[in-house]
Amino acid sequence: MCESGKGAAEAILAYLAEKPDAEDTIEGIVEWWLLHERITSQTLHVKKALAELLNAKLIVERKGRDSRSRYSVNRRKLKQIREIVRQRECGGRQRGTER
């Protein structure tokens, strides 16, 4: 979610559209409404990222006793994962190209 005034206005409207009887102070809006909208937005991004990582077999999924999914590293891909992370930390530079 955008942190600009327009982004905040859209988040407030999205919250009110879901909960038309809601009312709160500015502190409550910041703490609860905008947090709720940020969590909702981030949840969608995380679901997409998890699907991509699962598809690439970089993480594994297992169902817990409560039927909820748990995600963890695919240890067979740990070397590849570390290389991906290293490349991103170095701004995508390849080995031997640093000056």
Based on the domain organization, do 73 and 30 belong to the same domain? no
* pLDDT for position 2: 42
Cα–Cα distance for residue pair 73/66, rounded to 1 Å: 21
Q: Residue 72 in 3-state DSSP?
A: strand
Domain count across the chain: 2
Q: How confident is the model at residue 46 (pLDDT cuts 50, 70, 90)?
A: very high
Based on the domain organization, do 15 and 35 belong to the same domain? yes
Based on the domain organization, do 42 and 74 belong to the same domain? no
Domain assignment of residue 17, given as a range: 1-55
Which whole number is the average pLDDT over 47-74?
A: 97
Which whole number is the average pLDDT over 32-38?
A: 88
Q: How confident is the model at residue 89 (pLDDT cuts 50, 70, 90)?
A: confident
- The number of CA neighbours under 13 Å toward the Cβ of 34 is 17
pLDDT at 45 over 90: yes
Which whole number is the average pLDDT over 53-64?
A: 97
